Each structure stands twice: as C-alpha cells, then as structure tokens.
A and B are shown apart, each in its own frame.
Chain A
Amino acid sequence: MKRFNCPSCGAEVVFASNLSVYAVCKYCSSMIVLHDQDAGVIGTMAALPGDMSPFQIGTEGYYEGKHFTLVGRMKVGWEDGSWNEWFLDTDDGRRGWLAEAQGCYAVCFEVGPPGLDFAGRAIQDQAKPGKFIGSTLLLANQTLKVVDSKRATCIGSEGELPFAAPQGRATLSVDLLGPHGEFGCVEIETGKLRAFVGRYVDWKDLRCSSARRFDGW
C-alpha cells in the first residue's frame, strides 16, 4: 500500500494495490498518475453516470475461494450501452478484474496476450465483418470462442487502476466464451494488447460484503 497526497487538493490518496499507477481523487476528482515515486495530475474526471451496479469501491468478495477487494472501476461505453470493469486487489497480487455487463458477472485475470494476427483480424472485422465472430482462440490453454467484438470508449473511472483511464480512452474489446462458462477478453489498444481469462459467476457465488444498498431492495 502506498499513500500520496493529491497534488491538486492535498487530500490523502491511497494506492491499495501494488499494481495501481492511476487513481481518481475522491475529493477533487483529479486524475493522479504515478511516475516513479512521484504523483502528477493529468486532468479532472467528470462524475460517472448513475447506474444500478451492486458493486462499489470497497466491496469485498470471493472467487474460487480467494478473497478480493474492489479498488477501482472503469465504466466503458459502446454503441449499445455500457459496462463496468472493476479492478481487484487480491491477496496473491494477480492482476484481476470483475466485469459487469447486462446483469452478468465475470471474474478474470490477465494472461499472456495472443499473437498480433489476432488483433489484426479483430481490426479487419470491424471494417468488414467476416468470420471473426465464431472463430476460436487458445488463451491460457483454453480454447475459447469469439462471441463479441466492439469498439469501446472509457466513459469515466474512479478509485485506482493499473493504467490511466481518462474519458475517451478507446479500445477494441473482444469477448470470448467457453463451453462451461469460461470467459475471455482481449483488449486492443493502440500499441497494446491485453488478454484476460476467467469465468462467469453468479451473484451468490461471489459472497460479497460491503455491496451497494438500494432503497426497496
């Protein structure tokens, strides 16, 4: 855990995860980026649009018996809506995410990215839809099927994240699915390729505490 003072307002900013290099000050909404041992401000984050997500920064849960805490969120928008990506602080220091879309949850961890040809095919498919959707990809020894590929833009972020996520950060996001609910995601950003593998989970399986509360629920 690292503590800094917000260069803008002076309030304490905590980086709970060693993987985090970016945080949004919860008092002044400044976007703080860590360089070496120094913290700089790259702008101000606008308020996130309201949603009915059951999660919030600080929500704790379990995945495959291992405890995690949600420390940051990136809200991502696309043509037909939006989804949330919650950054996990895990005890084993793995780079994990909880993806939340359309009331479905998937926990995944970063794995070695696929070859550049995969990114090429994904980009080509955007220009001229072909046989990319439905093709398979071997990720972390699992054969997964491409079920979805879409251009996504960061709507906003809060808490801490392992990369800077200002509004407008654009990616091409490819979702993959396995026969038993395995989940995969490949995120293609200019110059970067990240892959994540995990599985879909039910709300009950996450055994969450400190979840958000709603009136009437």
Chain B
Amino acid sequence: MAGSKVKTFDCPACGGVVSLRAAGHSITAVCTHCSSVIDTANDNFKIILKHHQNERETDIPLGAKGVLDHVKWEVIGYVEKRDISGDAFWEEYLLFNPYFGFRFLVHGDGHWNLARVLKRDIRVNDLEPGVFLDDQEFHLFYRSTSIVEYVKGEFYWRVRKGDKARYADYIAPPRMLSVETSKQERTLSLSEYLLPGEVEQAFGVSLPGRTGVAPNQPPAFANTAPRIWWITAAALLAAFLVQINIGGQENILSRSRLHIEPAIVPKSLSTPVFYVPRRANLVVEGSAPLTNNWMDIDLSLVNDNTNTAYSATQAFEFYSGVDGGEFWSEGSTQGETWFSAVEDGTYRLVVEPSSGAVPPEGMDLLVQVKHDVPIWGNFWFIVVFILVVPLYVAWYRRYFEHRRWSNSDYAPTLNRVQWDE
C-alpha cells in the first residue's frame, strides 16, 4: 500500500511544491504559491487557470484540524460564494477525515453550519414550498443562483471562480436541506446549525459575531420554552389551589327579607342575630326590587356583645325604558358591601333605608350576609405576575421568527405580518 504521508506535486505553473491532503479524492487543487488552479484527477497536473486571484486569509486556515460532531476534521479547501443578486456572501470550508469522508463548514453573517452530502433520491418539486426527509417537512426558505468568488485548497470536484449553481434551501431549524443543481448533477446536503463558540473551540480561532437570524437558527428559547410553559402551568395551578384552599371557605350567615313601609321618617330595620365563627371578612349583599327608582341604605353591623358597630352605605338605582323600540336600562338593583377582618361574635345588621319613592304596599329588601368570601383580586394579580415571563417569551419567539423569515420570499403567512420596529 502507498504510505500515509501527504502526497505532494510540483505546480506546473510556478514549480512550487503543493501538497494534497486528500490524495485520490481531490481532482482540483489551487497552488498555495501562485494560486493557479490545477487538475489533479491524474498525474498529468494540467493547469486549468493560471494565477487568477490574490492570496487571502481565511478565519480558519487550511490545514487546521478540529473536532466537530465528535469527529476530527482537517480543513482542506475553501470556497467563497455570492448570491447572484449580490446581497448574500458566504464561505464554505471543505473538511476531510480519511475515515468519515467530507463535510462542509458553512459560514455567513457570523452563523455556522456543518453540512454533509445526503445520498437520497428525495422528491423536490419546484412548485411546492416544502420537501420531506424521513417524514419531517422542510420549508422552502430561499431559491437563487450562487457564483464562486474565490477558491483555495483542494476539492473532490471541479471548481473555479465564476462557477454558477442553482440552489434552494429548505429549513426545519436547526436543520437545513439544500438542493444544488449544476448542469446535470443534483446534490443534496443536510446542514445542522452550530454555535460560533463550538467552531471557535474546535479550531482554536476567534470568529466574527453573529448578525441577524440565520435561516435554520434554532428558535429563540428553543430549549427553555417548553420548561417555561410547564413552570407557568404549574404556577397557575398552584396559585389556583392555594386560592381555593386558603382563600376563604365562603358560607352564608344570614338571609333576610326586610319589609320597607312607605313612611316620611325612615325607619330602622334589623336582621335576626347571626354568629360570626372566626375573624374574616363579611360581605353584605342587598337587593331591592326597584323600577325607575333609587334607594340608599345605611348599614350598621352591630356586635351584640360589645355594641361596637361597623358602618357603611349602599346605594341602588335602576332606570329602564324603551327608546326607539329598543329596551334600555341603567344602574342595578343589587348592592354589595365588604367589611374586612370582622372579629368573631354575635352580630345584627341594622338597615336604615331612604328611598325616592316607596310604593303604597311597601317593598321587600333582600339582605344576605356572607362570611369568609375569597378575594379573587389577589389571585388575578398573581396570575398576571406569573404570566409576565411566558408572555414575553412568547412574544420574543414570534418576533424572532419574524426576523428569520424577513430574509425569505417564502415566509409562512403567520410570519408575513408587518412589525413596527
């Protein structure tokens, strides 16, 4: 067998020694001395293109080795490509491992992807916005033509500056399926998004920061969102259970019907005595059968033992009629008064009504006293508090998707909405 040393040859253009890191695979190599493109498919080493570009530095140098996806790779080639419309540039590093073959490390706008050629005959229909790979749908993101701007290193295909290829990118973050068509050949590749830090660590280099959102960048809070939804659901359930259990054991202490006679001087009425078993709030609900009338009642909650009293006023008014064939009403025949932290003891409710007009037959005022009524206001306050973080996360995720799809002509309807930024 041939030795495992790096194969070298003399550049037919400048005579400099050029090494081949993937001998047997590489059919194109760019001379490191004079930048001529050389055909290395056989030992004739034909010049394909003489010195055609100036040497350029790349973020990751040729020959650098690094571990990605648990495999050690050597950088053997570099291609810079431009979208034919001119508004996108990207770089493709060709990685080689003699056992695992080739991978592409693709960089654009500070975002990195590790891609591999996919040997599958997948149905790609130019009229459909998606393709399926193993039952996962990839959504069309971009379709255009690329043009090679710069080449350096060695390649297992024929490549030179100016080469054009049609391509289509389909996304299912963090993966992307790309279909590249040149002449008769169609190449499928599957990319997986990498964090710039992973690439920096792998090759020991420092890389430019990210700008914008990459087509297949994982959604915002991709890992934490499900946890946030669960924590939110759990917190809401906990708040609800706490409210149900210690928010109050509502019960009705007294329910009376007080008959109000028409009289010039208001007359005090009293409910029967009732017992407040422990210190808690008391709610007095009044209901008066008013029609186009008003009524004010002075309430005194009197402790039978100590004669101390809590006082309050309840006002009702209710008017209704028919106007232009439509029924209208305003006000209410119901009233509600809260007494907080009423001490335990025996109580009476003294009611002193004053009314606009009491019909000759008098009217009945219904008074109901409730004890230890849960206060839902606190609960709703807590609910709002719990929802602050998840609502922000949900909003930010939507905003992130909008930014992703703003670079695409094929955005799903949901992400086509205009945002004021």
Interface residues, chain A, with chain B CB atoms under 8 Å away: 47-54, 56, 77, 79-82, 102-106, 129, 133, 144-145, 147-148, 177-181, 183, 200, 202-204, 211-217
Contacts and interface: CB of A to CB of B under 8 A. Distances in A.
Determine the main DSSP class of B at the interface with A: loop
Given A49-B24, A102-B25, A215-B4, A80 B41 contact: yes
Given A102-B156, A179-B121, A217-B98, 10 more contacts: A47-B2, A49-B23, A50-B2, A50-B7, A81-B41, A102-B157, A103-B100, A200-B119, A213-B4, A215-B5
| Interface SS of chain A | loop
Nearest to A144: B121
B96 interface: yes
Contact of B98 (A47, A106, A145, A214): A214
B23 A52 contact: yes
Given A49-B2, A50-B2, A103 B156 contact: yes
B41 to A, nearest CB: 5
A80 B121 contact: no
Contact of B119 (A49, A104, A217): A104
Nearest to A177: B121
B102 A129 contact: no
B120 interface: yes
Contacts of A105: 101
Contact of A52 (B22, B121, B184): B22
A217 B2 contact: no
A105 B3 CA distance: 22
A104 B103 CA distance: 11
B72 interface: yes
A167 to B, nearest CB: 13
Contacts of A47: 2
Contacts of B23: 49-52
A178 B123 CA distance: 10
A203 B25 contact: no
Given A81-B41, A177-B119, A52 B24 contact: yes
Contacts of B21: 52
B50 interface: no
A216 to B, nearest CB: 8
25 contacts: A49-B23, A49-B43, A50-B7, A50-B23, A50-B24, A51-B24, A102-B101, A102-B102, A102-B157, A103-B100, A103-B102, A104-B101, A104-B117, A105-B101, A144-B121, A147-B121, A177-B121, A178-B121, A179-B122, A181-B120, A204-B100, A214-B4, A215-B4, A217-B72, A217-B98
A103 B96 contact: yes
Nearest to B4: A214
Contact of A145 (B2, B65, B121): B121
Contacts of A181: 119-120
Interface of B: 1-5, 7, 21-25, 27, 41-43, 65, 72, 96-102, 117, 119-123, 156-158, 184-186
A49 B3 CA distance: 11
Nearest to B22: A52
Nearest to A47: B2
Contacts of B7: 50
A204 B24 CA distance: 21
Contacts of B41: 77, 79-82
A207 B117 CA distance: 21
- Which 4 pairs between the two chains have the least Cβ-Cβ distance? A51-B24, A103-B101, A50-B2, A214-B4
A203 B121 contact: no
Contacts of B100: 103, 202-204
Given A103-B102, A217-B97, A212 B184 contact: no
A77 B42 CA distance: 9
B124 to A, nearest CB: 12
Contacts of B1: 56, 212
Contacts of A102: 25, 101-102, 117, 156-157
A203 to B, nearest CB: 5
A90 B23 CA distance: 29
A12 B157 CA distance: 41
Nearest to B43: A49
A80 B42 contact: no
A137 to B, nearest CB: 12
B255 to A, nearest CB: 75
A52 B5 contact: no
Contacts of B157: 80, 102
B121 to A, nearest CB: 4
Contact of A50 (B3, B156, B184): B3
A22 B2 CA distance: 22
B99 A80 contact: no
A193 to B, nearest CB: 22
Identify the interface centre among B2, B99, B117: most chain A CB within 10 Å of its CB: B99
Contacts of A204: 100
